[in-house]
Amino acid sequence: MGTMAADAAGGEALGETVRELREAYECGRTRSLAWRQAQLRGILRMLKEKEVEAFQALHKDLGKHHAEAYRDEIGLLIKSANGALQQLGKWMAPERVWVPLIAWPATAQVVPEPLGVVLIFSCWNVPLGLSLEPLIGALAAGNAVALKPSELSPCTARFLADNIGMYVDPSAVKVVQGGPDVGEHLMEHRWDKVLFTGSPRIARSVMAAASRHLTPVALELGGKCPCIFDAMPGARDLQVSVNRIIAGKWSSCAGQACIAIDYVLVEERLAPVLIKVLRSTLKRFFQEPEHMARIVNRRHFDRLSGLLRDRAVAPSILHGGSMDAKNLYIEPTILLNPPLDSEIMTEEIFGPLLPIITVKKIEDSIAFVNAKPKPLAIYAFTRDAALRRRIVDETSSGSVTFNDAVVQYAMDGLPFGGVGQSGFGQYHGRYSFEMFSHKKAVMKRGYLIELTLRYPPWDESKVTLMRYLYRFNYFAFVLSFLGLRR
């Protein structure tokens, strides 16, 4: 059914998988609008008919409540697939472009064409969404696809392997299961594009391997996404802001998300009020432990617990900090001003720990953010238009969201992607289609007019005429061509 189990993931079997994908693409059927629409409808049917199994897989892998799973993965995927279905004809249509008058008679257009055979590496924290979201774009663009789910979310990987081939063309979409060795073997082959979502460490290896075949790569990485918290004019604005901060930190896979808030910057005078409302709201939101996802595995649990056990960091814990190693659960934790040179402030946290850093003036937060690598997202809660303008103008990040967090991920009209160390390449909605397409320039000219000035032998009169043409000064060109202007 277009899948391959980990125990058969030898180099020879992988080579056969790539060959079958290449044959499926080169026969031409993936290019038609009907084929592309059929694949998108198949994904929608799978999400509808296998919803319960998807919920179960996400719960087994990450302890996600089905409400969180639907909000962050299944619901978003249904929206994305439906949106692609509705817009696909428009996306595929050639785009007419302007042609200078001097080229008349001529037409020019940009024609989107599929790249060919693409490889998608998804990540474990949003294992269904980060597999199917780019797959929707790759299929909409008319490609054949190999999908490598993360081995750290094995139940979701198995769900994808067991089901995708029943709903989409199994010769053009193949799920490859396995660990890092399988990923390395995959990168030995030639692909027309690779999308990798994960850590910068592995991304470097992916790019190095891709360079052997000059394969274009898109990277979705992450980083320390800051949240700038300005003064709120009233109690309601304060409470709504705190609700959204909690949703942007703890409610998305327990903070194990590339776009989760990593730390908060707030003025010293405002910190006590912010912390008070955070504490009370956390108690209200997470009365039941199952309403927050668990840590993915023991290795990541030990990494996060090590951040809190750092002797320099432990005194800064203001709220939470309890840990349950057996159930891989860490309580939502708030820290105030941990040392800036500690690991919790130099590395991406990727977990339910939230440092709060105080500044003298909120404007100082801009310099603080700029001193660190460019993040995937910057969040800012403020009603100050001047501060908003400065954040947009003076910082660099994959995205900026004011007065909310994480919701930009769900907006198909906005490109999702990083900049600098947070990655490169953008997808979601039409941007997914464009990520997996090549914009081919197509021009057609007639034979009615032929200007000899473009050909030797050269003289200064031809140079003069060219000067007018390249400045689009057609009036002066005509006068000079007729000998009426020198």
Neighbours of 374 (CB within 10 A): 18
Q: Which two tokens stand for residue 423?
A: 């990655």
Closest by CA to 419, choosing from 394, 395, 398, 391, is 398
Q: 333-336 and 437-445: which strand pairing?
A: unpaired
Report the DSSP beta bridge partners of residue 217. 194
3-state secondary structure of 436: coil
The amino acid sitting at 363 is E
- CA 173 from centroid of its chain's CA atoms: 21
Tell me whether residue 225 is one of the annotated catalytic residues: no
Q: CA distances (Å), 17 to each of 80, 144, 175, in order?
A: 28, 11, 10
Tell me whether residue 220 is one of the annotated catalytic residues: yes
Contact between 81 and 48 under an 8 Å Cβ cutoff? The reply is no
Neighbours of 255 (CB within 10 A): 26
Q: Which two tokens stand for residue 222?
A: 């992450």
Measured CA to CA, the distance from residue 220 to residue 222 in angstroms comes to 7
Which of these is catalytic: 73, 225, 258, 267? Answer: 258
Q: In what order do the strands lie in the sheet with 144-148?
A: 3-4, 173-176, 144-148, 117-121, 193-197, 217-220, 423-424
Residue 373 DSSP label? P
Task: Count Cβ atoms within 10 A of the Cβ of residue 206 and give its class: 0-12 exposed, 13-18 middle, 19 or more buried.
Answer: buried
C-alpha dihedral sign at 322, 347, 328, 243? positive
Q: Could you tell me where the beta strands, DSSP code E, fall in 29-154? A: 95-96, 106-114, 117-121, 144-148
3-state secondary structure of 52: helix
Which of these is catalytic: 20, 73, 133, 220? Answer: 220
Report the DSSP beta bridge partners of residue 441. 110
Q: Could you tell me where the beta strands, DSSP code E, fall in 55-192? A: 95-96, 106-114, 117-121, 144-148, 173-176
Neighbours of 148 (CB within 10 A): 23
Active-site residues, by number, are 220, 258
